[in-house]
Amino acid sequence: MDDLNKDGVVNREDAVWLANFISNMSKQGAFGPRVGGLGIYGANAAHGPFVHVDVRGTLARW
């Protein structure tokens, strides 16, 4: 993850920024008929913030 929202820190808000970017691309048809899951995770002791993307055939957000 990088400081995508340019606020000077890398945190969950950067993952939210990325998830919104991916969601907007999906709404514009950038991924064709493939729909799936999009999850946002914050940092913990094991990893930094991240976004999970999958193709499950149904829309899911968490």
Chain-centroid distance, C-alpha 46: 19
Q: Where does the pLDDT of residue 4 fall: very low under 50, low under 70, confident under 90, or very high at 90 and above? A: very high
Query: pLDDT by residue (tens digit) across 44-54?
Result: 999 999 999 99
Q: How many CB atoms lie within 10 A of CB 55?
A: 11
Residues 20-58 have pLDDT tens digits of 999 999 889 888 888 789 999 999 999 999 999 998 888
Does 61 have pLDDT greater than 90?
yes
User: What pTM, to 2 d.p., does this model score?
Assistant: 0.87
Q: Which residue has the tokens 């820190």?
A: 9
